[in-house]
Structures are given as structure tokens and as C-alpha cells.
Amino acid sequence: MPWRSGLAFRVVLVSTRNSTCAAFAERLLRPALADTGIEAWAIRVTSAGLEDEQGARFDPDAEFMLRALGGNPGGFRATHLEAEIVDDADVLLTMTRAERDEVVRRFPRARQRTFTLVEYARLNDLVRPMAPLREHPLMLAPARFQAELTPADDIHAPVKADPQEYNLMATEIAEAVYLLAEHWIAMTPTRGPRRDPLGAARLLDAGADAEIVRLSAFGVPVDVQCTGEGGRALRRSLTAAWSRCLRKGDEPDSEPVHIEAIVHDDPTHLRVARARGAIGGETTADLMHALAGAVTVRAIDERAGDVIMLHAAGVSLLDGQVIAFVAPSGTGKTTLSRTLGKHYGYVSDETVVIDFDGTVTPYPKPLSILTAKHHLKKQVGPDEERLLMAPSKLRLGRVVLLNRVNRLDGDPVIEDVPLLAGMTELAAQVSYLPRLAEPLRSVARAIERSGGLQRVTYAEASDLIPLVPQFAGGAE
């Protein structure tokens, strides 16, 4: 199924001269996305230049290098970066820091959506946001300002007519592009079973080997079809880790979202599977993380506009009041869930879903825990972590903005936050905010009904354990 918004994720690659680096990156990124099964209706990639003459042809040396890599420069004409292009883009990816600064200078409103290509790929790899792609630029914003950019965040600009220089540029662009494609595939919906140009059905007898895990992600039925030689092991791992999200009983009210997941050590099998929209990986661990993202994002996409979805960790008291701790990805929500969930009901480590009447639908998904060994996030089920179950009837008790610091003298500090200022900060953590009816007023009602917004400044998650009941008490 396409994005529920009906809009593609719009990527614009920018360089000083469109006819060189940005065009090169565009003509590499498009086939890289297609190779991973992402189609143009899901992610639209174009390019533009800061100084090009409109309509200029591909730089001959860049074109030669692109062809050598199997790329297709056909039909290219340079586009000058104009306000209309900038306003339409979900993210602008420049080749260098200087170009990024120039884009922001010319178009100040694009500041939060403009990154260097390498910077964006690096941040995606670091933060691994689980949200629709269009929300990623804002979600990556806190991480981007934690360190200054360095020359490593620039794509090498080739000296004209030097093949080695073009080779270096091509290598750097390819690395960034393939890293992005790898992350995006799990975050992109598919249209369902489609083209099978290489006869995948003959290579993989998906029907005989398929094992289906039936999940419910905050009310959205999701069927994960586990295929490939590792399918059975994947099904077992999924069933264990997602134990609190398994769908039981009657057929769902709506058509399930279908995700095909394949574990195989043969790259050809994986490539064929991805071409038909499957999520593939060589190991179960690879797949478990990708699937956590895919299930979350597709469920968010399904419920866009129906409910308020916060990027938040949630725990509940015995009376069913849910405290939603809001924070950007990569800033401690999972650690908090893991710590507090041993004392309070575990609602979610990623997404707190609030209906307009204040009821909360739990999403007790596996926790994504970073392992030092593999630099991957391991998916650990709440049962394995011995997290407490949440009561069956939940309602929003408070929304709390998390402010984790490296060091704090004394106890955590809790403060009331003025509504409007707090919502300015909160907005980036609300999925599909514009799709809500009366977006700002809906969120404000939920917050005011639960006693208003608060912020907690803390250093250690364990310091918040005795404080959780203090947050609650505002729910009607």
C-alpha cells in the first residue's frame, strides 16, 4: 500500500554544479533504491545546482564515470535550485558543508531539512529513527548538533579530468547512498506482491516455506511472512520477542499489513526478494531490527490522522494512567523503558498512541538495545526483560519532556512547561501531526486534560523510579 498521505518522500540532492556531483548522486541513488525494492512513488529523488545554468547537460567526466559504474545519465538536464524546489523537498542533501551553508543562507526555512549527504547517512545509521521518512529530518536534528561537522562529512569534489578524483567522488557517494537505501527499505511501504522479473517463485518456494507471525501494532493487524532458509528460526525469534503484540482469536476487522521477511545468505536470493518488496537480511539479528522499524512505521502510516502518536516511552501505574516520556530517537527512551518497566506497566519504548478521548493503546514491542559487539540494536522482548504488564484499560496521565544530562548534582528536577512553548518542542515528536483534524488543538486538549506538560531533567534512569507516581494525577 502506498504512503497513506499519498505523497512520496522527496529527496533533493544539491551541489554547486548540478551537472556534476548532485546529478551523479541522483543517478546512483535511484537504482540503489530500486535494487532494494523501493519504487519512485515511495521515494522521489531529484537534484539541483546552486550555480548551474538551467538545462545544462551532464558534466562529461562525471557522465563517463557514471556509465563506468553502470549508471544511466540519459535525459539529464541541470536544474537550478529555486524556492519552489526547496519548499517541496522533504530533505535536501548537499555534497559539502559549504554547499549546505549556502542553501540555508539562501533559504533559511530549509535549515532543519538540509544536511550533507554523508552527514544524513551517518545520522541515520547512528539514530535509526523508527518513523515515517518525512519525519526523519526533524528527528535527526538533536543528534546533528552534538558535534561539529568535519571534512569527512564532505563528498570529495573532483578536479576536472582526473579519473582518480572522480573515482574517489563516486566511492564516497556510493557508500552514503547504499547506507541510506539500506535504512530506508524498512521504513517504506510496498504495494504488495508485484513484479517478479526473475521468476522469484521458482527460486524461492515462498508458499511451502512461509511461516506467518500475526501481530497487532496499536490496533493495526500486521502479518509478517518469514521465508527463506532461516524462516523458521526467524518466526521463533519474532514470536518470542513480540509476545505481547501477538494477535489472537478472530480475524481482524481490517486487512492486515503484509510484510515479507527473508533470511538468506545468498545475495541473489535477497536481491530478488527485495525487488518484490521483501525485507531481507543475512542473519536473524539483521532482520529483527529492520522488522521492528518496518512494523512500527507501517502501523504509524496506517493510523495517520486517526490518533495522536508520540515518539515516547510509556509506562503505566496500577490505575491505568500512562506517563508518556517524550524524547528524540537515540536519547534514552529505551533505557528508561527498560528501567521503569521493571516497576511499572510497560506500555512502549517507542510509540505512545493516544485516542482523542484520552485512552491509550499499548504497543509493548521488543526493546531495541544497542550491542557493543555488533553495533546493532538487538530486539529483546518485554517478557525476556521481565517487564511488568500494563493494565488492560489505559488513559493518558501526563506527557513529560525528557531532558537527560551527563551529570546532575542532586535529584531529578521536575518543572511545569508552558503549553505553547512545550508544544513547539513536542511537535517534532508527533507522527503525522498535520494529518490530525485540528492538529494543534487536538494535541493541546490531550495535554491539558492530563494536567499539562512537564519536563524532567535527570542523569540516570533509575533516579526516576520513585518519581513516576508524581507525574500522574492529571487524568480526568
Partner 1 sequence: MHDGDILVTTVDDALIRNDEMLVLVGSEVMLLSVVSTEIARVCAGGLTLGELGDHLFSVFGPPLDGSRVGERTRVLVAELVEAGILRVASAPQDM
Residue 106 makes contact with partner 1 by CB under 8 A: no
Cβ distance 19 to 58 under 8 Å?
A: yes
What does residue 8 show for φ and ψ, rounded to 5 degrees?
-75, 160
Q: Which of 210, 251, 207 is nearest to 230 (CA)?
A: 210
- Considering the complex, state which of residue 31 and residue 452 has its C-beta at the smaller distance from partner 1: 452
Round to whole Å and give the CA distance between 420 and 358: 20
Report the distance separating Cα 304 and Cα 471, nearest Å. 28
How many chain residues touch partner 1 (CB under 8 A)? 17
- Is position 305 an interface residue for partner 1 (rule: CB under 8 A)? no
For residue 341, give the C-alpha cell: 518497566
Nearer to partner 1 by Cβ, of 403 and 442: the residue is 442
141 binds partner 1, rule: CB under 8 A: no
The answer to the question of residue 133 lying near partner 1 (CB under 8 A) is no
Residue 91 binds to partner 1 (criterion: CB under 8 A)? no
Mode of pairing for the β-strands spanning 308-316 and 351-354: antiparallel
- Residue 142 in the binding site for partner 1 (CB under 8 A): no
Query: With respect to partner 1, which residue has the nearer C-beta, 9 or 58?
Result: 9
CA distance 233 to 230: 6
427 binds partner 1 (CB under 8 A): yes
Identify residues 437-476 at the interface with partner 1 (CB under 8 A): 438-441, 444
- Is residue 108 involved in binding partner 1 (CB under 8 A)? yes
**What is the distance between the alpha carbons of residues 24 and 45, in angstroms, rounded to a whole number?**
12
- Among left, alpha and beta (phi > 0; psi -120 to 50; other), residue 334 is alpha
Select the span of 68-76, 97-105, 220-228, 432-440 touching partner 1 (CB under 8 A). Answer: 432-440
DSSP 8-class letter at 19: I
For residue 175, the number of C-alpha atoms closer than 13 Å in the C-beta half-sphere is 15
Q: Which of 109, 160, 191, 393 binds partner 1 (CB under 8 A)?
A: 109
Using CB under 8 A, pick the residue from 433, 446, 464, 475 that binds partner 1. 433
Interaction residues for partner 1, span 192-221 (CB under 8 A): none
Is the backbone of residue 161 left (phi > 0), alpha (psi -120 to 50) or beta? left
CA distance 284 to 119: 28
Q: Which of residues 306-335 bind partner 1 (CB under 8 A)?
A: none
Out of 203, 210, 419, 459, the residue judged to bind partner 1 by CB under 8 A: 419
Asked if residue 423 binds partner 1 (CB under 8 A), the reply is yes
Contact 414, 456 (CB under 8 A): yes
Contact between 134 and partner 1 by CB under 8 A: the answer reads yes
Judge contact between 26 and 130, C-beta under 8 A.
Answer: no
* Binding of residue 421 to partner 1 (CB under 8 A): yes
82: contact with partner 1 by CB under 8 A: no
Binding site for partner 1 (CB under 8 A): 108-109, 134, 418-421, 423-424, 427, 433-434, 438-441, 444
